[in-house]
Amino acid sequence: MLKEAAHLRGILKGLNGRGYKAYKKLEGEYEFSWYHLSIDHVQGDPFASPSRFTLIVPIEKTGIPKALFSNKRRNIALCDFLARSFKKETERFSGRCGTGHSCQIYIEAGRQEILERNSVVLNGNNLEVRFFVGLPAHGRSILANKAEEVIFHHIPNIAERGLVYKNLNKRQIEEHVYSYEDQEILRQRLSELNIVSFIREGAILPRKSGVEDRPLKGAIPFVCPRGLKIEIELPYRGRVSGMGIPVGVTLIVGGGFHGKSTLLQAIERGVYSHIPGDGREYVVTDPRAIKIRAEDGRSVVKVDISPFINNLPLGKDTSSFFTENASGSTSQAANIIEALEIGARVLLIDEDTSATNFMIRDKRMQSLVKKEKEPISPFIDKVGQLYREFGVSTILVMGGCGDYFDIADTVIMMDSYRPYVVTEMAREIARKYSTGRINEGGEKFGNIRQRKPLPESFNPIRSEKVKIEAKGLKTIIFGRQVIDLSALEQLVDIGQTRAIGHLINYYAKKYLKNTNSLKDGLEKTMADIEKYGLDIVLPYRIGNLARPRIEELAGAINRLRSLRIR
């Protein structure tokens, strides 16, 4: 039931000095002059997770032009911009005024990537802004005057400054919305251009550090090499030129510290669109590209790794391979097969994070250890089959093994962060210096088998309650299970991690029994998110989820140690 703001003020005045749990009386929806304020959930004490608030604003009250949210792409970008704008204003007014989280105001907003999230949502004609407030207390006694200041002064000012169009930077909001739309359109056009990734001329690829994703000051802008330069006309930016990486097998080579891994990292993050000023705007990659690495110690459940590993000692079956502690080679084989199972179109591999014996067996090792004694068919002999038989391209960073020159369609050499196309030179070297190695890949790649999880795989209950929680970016608590996502390198936002935990539960409840495979069920799950938004995964309103890709959702399920396959 909607109540007047004056009623809320009256409740507050009667709470001063009372025990903290009396704040529960505030829950409800209140009418202010140009918006409604809903206090959705009040925290149990000052040290608990802050209370959940929602501003409900008629979009016409903000004055934001309809052109900025006239389609879904623009809607996502606008909501992302408003979340960042609202967050910037909370930093002006938020502070600590008592015990625990008292007087803190914050909202979940993005970093360098623009993601669909549910902290700001445009539902029909209303803009919903979901944020968190630490209701103030001294000890565990209510500070009603401070709460009144937060609710009746700070929040209205944040809303006015962060959401109303006349107070926003018009150029910035338009660039944010339209550059996002351009990047999404460019990503959709990659297949018709017969390329898997596009790196814009002048892009800034190096990051400040391994833990700081903002652009490195003074970094060398990307220079497009002759031979791979293409130009594309986009609705907002106009004509954009850059390097198009063709379909097939591409090697990125060069000396250490010359930018090989930096280029690959930009390519792997190109599955997302980036904010203006990031440096990687218009660096876009096929959305079904998956980074692959070795992952010692992970569990593998009934994955058909026989295309890569067969004839194990003691006759162990590799067409339905199971282990609780995979080696580097078996984990990398499983990671590739699982990626193909979920529909990967591009594999991204860096030799630095790969198992050597999985990637190559040279002539000398083939001579010493005969094929009948070696169960691994190395990737070098299977990567071409992947493209020819399934249309799956591969981009490899390779600094130490020239044997891959024999199978590469394109070779790019990085020299002082500048790329050069050296495909013909690499082929000439391959002809001149034959490796003499024997192809061990067989005539065909092998089968890609679809698996179906069993219902007992998924139990989110812990201490008689549903327990699904993100612990940082790379860990999910799912009931009594801990899911380690540290090898999913394209996961970029903790909101994605939270969403993955709840999406696993959503899939298990709604689609597990009624679909024939993991892929089928997850595609239906993601179709629901596309149609209805992230809010469907929880029974209450909260603004801390960001949309993940199906690839990371499947990756999390595959790393669930309770997973069982039919």
HEC profile of 491-519:
CCCHHHHHHHHHHHHHHHHHCCCCCCCHH
The token pair at 391 is 């249309």
445 shares its domain with 523: no
What is the pLDDT, as a whole number, of residue 379? 98
Quick one: pLDDT band at residue 95, thresholds 50, 70, 90?
Answer: confident
Q: Which residues of 356-375 are buried (b: 16+ CB within 10 A; e: fewer)?
A: eebbbbeeeebeeeeeeebb
Look at residue 89 and tell me if it is in a domain.
Answer: yes
Look at residue 181 and tell me if it is in a domain.
Answer: no
Q: CA 396 to CA 285: how far, in whole Å?
A: 15
pLDDT of 211 above 90: no
Q: Which structural domain range is residue 421 located in?
A: 189-449
pLDDT tens-digit map of 395-412: 999 999 999 999 999 999
412 shares its domain with 516: no
How many domains does the structure of the chain reveal?
Answer: 3
292 shares its domain with 439: yes
Q: Which residues of 493-529 are buried (b: 16+ CB within 10 A; e: fewer)?
A: bbbbbbbbbbbbbbbbeebbeebebbbebbeebbebb
Q: Is pTM, for the whole model, over 0.75?
A: yes
461 shares its domain with 445: no
Q: CA 416 to CA 226: how far, in whole Å?
A: 16
Q: CA 293 to CA 547: how far, in whole Å?
A: 23
% of the chain with per-residue pLDDT over 90: 96
241 shares its domain with 331: yes
Taking the mean position of all CA atoms in its chain, how far away is CA 123? 24
Quick one: pLDDT band at residue 94, thresholds 50, 70, 90?
Answer: confident
Look at residue 563 and tell me if it is in a domain.
Answer: no
196 shares its domain with 151: no
Choose one of 449, 475, 507: the last residue of a domain.
Answer: 449
Quick one: pLDDT band at residue 316, thresholds 50, 70, 90?
Answer: confident
Quick one: pLDDT band at residue 96, thresholds 50, 70, 90?
Answer: confident
66 shares its domain with 215: no
Quick one: pLDDT band at residue 10, thresholds 50, 70, 90?
Answer: very high
Choose one of 430, 449, 468: the last residue of a domain.
Answer: 449
265 shares its domain with 293: yes
Residues 6+ apart with CB under 8 A from 463: none
Mean pLDDT in residue range 25-50: 97
Quick one: pLDDT band at residue 469, thresholds 50, 70, 90?
Answer: very high
Look at residue 95 and tell me if it is in a domain.
Answer: yes
CATH code, 383? 3.40.50
Look at residue 173 and tell me if it is in a domain.
Answer: no
pLDDT of 304 above 90: yes
Quick one: pLDDT band at residue 471, thresholds 50, 70, 90?
Answer: very high
Quick one: pLDDT band at residue 154, thresholds 50, 70, 90?
Answer: very high
% of the chain with per-residue pLDDT over 70: 100
Nearest to 545 by CA among 505, 486, 489: 505
Mean pLDDT in residue range 83-95: 95
Look at residue 179 and tell me if it is in a domain.
Answer: no
pLDDT of 315 above 80: no
Quick one: pLDDT band at residue 342, thresholds 50, 70, 90?
Answer: very high
* DSSP label at residue 294: -
306 shares its domain with 391: yes
pLDDT of 390 above 80: yes
pLDDT tens-digit map of 112-152: 999 999 999 998 899 999 999 999 999 999 999 999 999 99
Taking the mean position of all CA atoms in its chain, how far away is CA 403? 33
Choose one of 136, 168, 200: the last residue of a domain.
Answer: 168
410 shares its domain with 463: no
What is the pLDDT, as a whole number, of residue 517? 98
Mean pLDDT in residue range 498-509: 98
Look at residue 128 and tell me if it is in a domain.
Answer: yes
Residues 6+ apart with CB under 8 A from 149: none
67 shares its domain with 107: yes
164 shares its domain with 202: no
**3-state helix vs strand vs coil in the chain, percent to 5:** 35, 25, 40
Look at residue 184 and tell me if it is in a domain.
Answer: no
